[in-house]
Amino acid sequence: GIVQPVEDWEKGKPTHPELLAWLAREFVRGGYSLKNLSRLILNSHAYQRATDSALSGPSPVF
């Protein structure tokens, strides 16, 4: 996450303050559009990286 613990932004310090500041600037630059911000995040290389569980094959069906 960007802030730990994720449920308490008041007490938690950003783990990546530069990223948080950049996202805030992009949010303002995009006219406060959540759609634009979501598109920016979802199209990022970091978001699209595969997880370890995805690399280990399909999960078992119960």
Please tell me the predicted confidence (pLDDT) of residue 18. 93
Residue 61 has pLDDT above 80, yes or no: no
- Locate tokens 């960007």: which residue? 2
Please tell me the predicted confidence (pLDDT) of residue 44. 92
Q: pLDDT digits over 4-58, tens only?
A: 777 877 887 888 889 999 999 999 999 999 999 999 999 999 888 877 666 666 6
d(CA 2, CA 16): 6
Please tell me the predicted confidence (pLDDT) of residue 26. 97
d(CA 40, CA 10): 25
Residue pair 20/6 in contact (Cβ under 8 Å)? The answer is no
